[in-house]
Amino acid sequence: MILMAENTKIALRDNILSLAVNCPVWRANPEDCPLYAIRRLELPQRLQWFNGLSNDDLIYLNAYHCLCAQLRMQARLEASEALCA
């Protein structure tokens, strides 16, 4: 288990809680996201899942989101550049 400063844990929890609502890149719920099934749960079940996350879970989900968002934004940029070429 990874130990972290309380303010870091709070920031990660805030980020994952917002990600449990929708994808900030697509403003939707892409099926290839590890949070897809979680977003489909009713709020009480979603909060129960969220409250059970470990520090390792928070770090993994945040890292996954950061990489996914970067790759999706890069793909959008490349598609836009191809249209303008």
Within 8 A by CB and 6+ apart from 19, the residues are 35, 61, 65
Q: Count of CB atoms within 10 A of residue 33's CB?
A: 20
pLDDT tens, 13-33? 999 999 999 999 888 899 999
Q: Where are the chain's structural domains?
A: 6-84
Confidence of residue 1 (pLDDT cuts 50, 70, 90): low
Asked whether the beta carbons of 57 and 11 are under 8 A apart, the reply is: no
Which residues are CB-contacts of 11 (< 8 A; sequence separation ≥ 6)? none
Whether this model's pTM surpasses 0.85: no
pLDDT at 85 over 80: no
